[in-house]
Amino acid sequence: MKNRNLITLLNPPTLVFGENSLDQFITDFKMLGLKRLFIMSIDSLEPLLSPKISELTESGIKIKICNTIKAEPTFAEFEVILEEARTFRADSVAGIGGGSVMDTAKLVAAQLLNTQSTEEITGIRQLTERRTYLACIPTTAGTGSEVSPNALFVNAEGNKVGVISPYLVPDAAYIDPVLTLSVPKHITAATGIDALSHCLEAYTNKFAHPIVDVIALEGIRLVARNLKRACDNADDLEAKTSIALGSMYGGMCLGPVNTAAAHALAYPLGTDFHIAHGLSVSLMLPAVMEYCVSAAPERYAEVALALGAQPQGEAVETAKQGIQLLKELIRDCGLPDSLSELGIPEDAIEGMAVDAMKVQRLLNNSVREITRQDAVNIYHSAFNS
């Protein structure tokens, strides 16, 4: 927890944050001299994007839009989209959407001109190049994919795996809080807790680093203080801006430190039961915190203060108050707070624990070791919350 080792921070060379920064993307892109833009997006954004696309086409830029990613992407879906981008002869890629859309856009840009196969790039630092311009523009505040070196996909075996490489950090990221105003409450809530978890798990991480600690704690504060407001009023631009900033900070934590056990245990909920990623994380985070708090009470006490807790006599008591505040925030934002509430059968826990143990790249970050039986116990705790 006192890591002073070498750390590398990888962020987009161009990072634009603020209201109407989508317009800045259009202005910047027209100056690049690129002529064939492949856009990954979602259907619901078409009315908003249409006039922006027209501005690009009027400048002589050819556009191909792909709206096929609806949920967590599979490698099979990615391969189809990659072929579509190659057929279009794209010289640039933009991801305008949530984390799944941006992750797919990132890998498309990397693989367009790459000679490595998908199998060869899976894992950490296996991808060795990207020669295609890439921009990411989030429309949800949660994943932080627009500033991270990570892209997550479901493989042929049904497991969620990562492609993690410096070459997946976009050339440019444009974070426009206005794009999050139309997001439904349940998505705002789930992605907001995901953003908070990125910061929280980076701060309470075996490889936590003082440089990342600063943005991690501020990210927790921003989300904790503004998420309910953002859920209660979809048009609250001030609250949505704070959540977008917290999400960006969370994404910045993912490269140098990354998440830990809450994400590892959340993955089987997505692959086995098709529960959205942010909701999966929100279901597991309090139970994982309760398990890990004894290994790093001072760290979890600092998290609690960032969540709005008052200092108690002992660090562990402050930490426990923070866990309770997080549970209340999850409920106040309208999210389910137990596996049983979603109808997940209790007899599925053993299988989920087996699958979770495969995510050692994240479990290895936990401040407290987690065995398969520990994972079973944590799932049971989340089942009965």
Quickly tell me which residue has 């690049």 as its tokens.
32
**Residue spans of alpha helices (H) in 255-311:** 261-273, 277-292, 297-307
pLDDT at 1 over 80: no
The single-letter DSSP state of residue 250 is H
State how far the Cα of 74 lies from the Cα of 71, in Å rounded to an integer.
Answer: 9
- Picking from 64, 61, 38, 141, the residue whose alpha carbon sits closest to that of residue 97 is 141
Q: Provide CATH 1.20.1090.10 ranges for the chain.
A: 185-383
- The answer to whether 306 touches 224, Cβ cutoff 8 Å, is yes
Q: Provide CATH 3.40.50.1970 ranges for the chain.
A: 14-180
- The answer to whether 136 touches 145, Cβ cutoff 8 Å, is yes
- Using DSSP's 3-state secondary structure scheme, residue 366 falls into strand
For 291-303, write each residue's pLDDT tens digit: 999 999 999 999 9
For the record, the structure tokens of 240 come out as: 């949505």
Q: Report residue 62: phi and psi, to 5°.
A: -80, 140
Within 8 A by CB and 6+ apart from 315, the residues are 297, 298, 300, 301
The pLDDT of residue 74 is: 94
Cα dist from 279 to 11, 158, 293, 321, 334, whole Å: 26, 19, 22, 22, 11
Mean pLDDT of the region 156-165: 91
State how far the Cα of 194 lies from the Cα of 270, in Å rounded to an integer.
Answer: 14
Amino acid occupying residue 351:
G
**Residue spans of alpha helices (H) in 31-121:** 46-57, 75-88, 99-111, 118-121
pTM for the model: 0.94
The DSSP bridge partners found for residue 172 are 14, 135
Strand-strand pairing, 160-164 and 150-154: antiparallel
Residue 234 CA to its chain's centroid (Å): 21
- The answer to whether 196 touches 246, Cβ cutoff 8 Å, is yes
The pLDDT of residue 313 is: 87
- The answer to whether 22 touches 174, Cβ cutoff 8 Å, is yes
Give the CB-side neighbour count of residue 156, counting CA atoms within 13 A: 5
- Cα Rg of the chain, angstroms: 20
State how far the Cα of 306 lies from the Cα of 216, in Å rounded to an integer.
Answer: 10
Q: Which one is the CATH code of 185-383: 3.40.1670.10, 3.40.190.10, 1.20.1290.10, 1.20.1090.10?
A: 1.20.1090.10
Q: Report residue 137: phi and psi, to 5°.
A: -135, 105
Is the domain 14-180 a CATH 3.40.50.12780 member?
A: no
**Residue spans of alpha helices (H) in 138-276:** 185-203, 210-232, 237-254, 261-273
Amino acid occupying residue 362:
L
| Average confidence score pLDDT of the chain | 95
State how far the Cα of 100 lies from the Cα of 98, in Å rounded to an integer.
Answer: 6
State how far the Cα of 192 lies from the Cα of 246, in Å rounded to an integer.
Answer: 9
The pLDDT of residue 305 is: 98
- The answer to whether 176 touches 48, Cβ cutoff 8 Å, is no
State how far the Cα of 248 lies from the Cα of 169, in Å rounded to an integer.
Answer: 13
The pLDDT of residue 385 is: 72
The pLDDT of residue 70 is: 86
- The answer to whether 169 touches 102, Cβ cutoff 8 Å, is no
**pLDDT band with cut points at 50, 70 and 90 for residue 4:** low
Q: Does 236 or 255 have the greater pLDDT score? A: 236
Mean pLDDT of the region 48-60: 94
For 117-148, write each residue's pLDDT tens digit: 999 999 999 999 999 999 999 999 989 999 99
